[in-house]
Amino acid sequence: MGKVRVTIKLTNQGDLVLRAAKVLKGKPRTVEAQALVDTGATRLYLQTSVIKALGLRRDSEVQSKTTNGVRRRAVYSPVKLELMGRYGNFDVVEVDDDVPNLLGQIPWSISISSSTPRLRNSSPIPSTVTSR
């Protein structure tokens, strides 16, 4: 089976809150990145370089099961994730820069929640999803 990669837009949620409160004068930190859809994962996993570019705050740690065994990973403050015209706020789990950004089941569900079954005002997954 092929790999599904999508383009995601990420915005520092803390910056959005500060901007709404008129504390932040500039634009919120935003990054567009490629992510691999991983239905075996449940969360949003971002590379260290993406986390640094967004200026996210480290909040806690979680134990993460991988093919290489259990590993402790840092959890960072939330981002606004935009995908295929839909968005949601998600905490971020850090992965090394040699691992792709991973979009797990829960964040992926924001893009498919109204596409199956076909309901009023719903749309299918757009052709921007690429299979490789």
pLDDT in tens, 33-81: 999 999 888 999 999 999 999 999 999 999 988 777 888 999 999 999 9
Mean pLDDT of 17-29: 95
pLDDT at 124 over 70: no
Widest distance between CA atoms in the chain: 48
- What are the pLDDT digits (tens) for 75-100? 999 999 999 889 999 999 999 999 99
What does the pLDDT read at residue 85? 87
Q: Which two tokens stand for residue 24?
A: 């932040």
Mean pLDDT of the chain: 86
Residue pair 76/92 in contact (Cβ under 8 Å)? The answer is: yes
Q: Return the CA Rg of the chain.
A: 15
Query: 3: Cβ–Cβ under 8 A, 6 or more apart, which residues?
Result: 36, 37, 131, 132
Residue pair 79/89 in contact (Cβ under 8 Å)? The answer is: yes
The structure's pTM equals 0.81
Residue pair 115/122 in contact (Cβ under 8 Å)? The answer is: yes
pLDDT at 130 over 80: no
Which single residue is written with the structure tokens 């792709």? 100
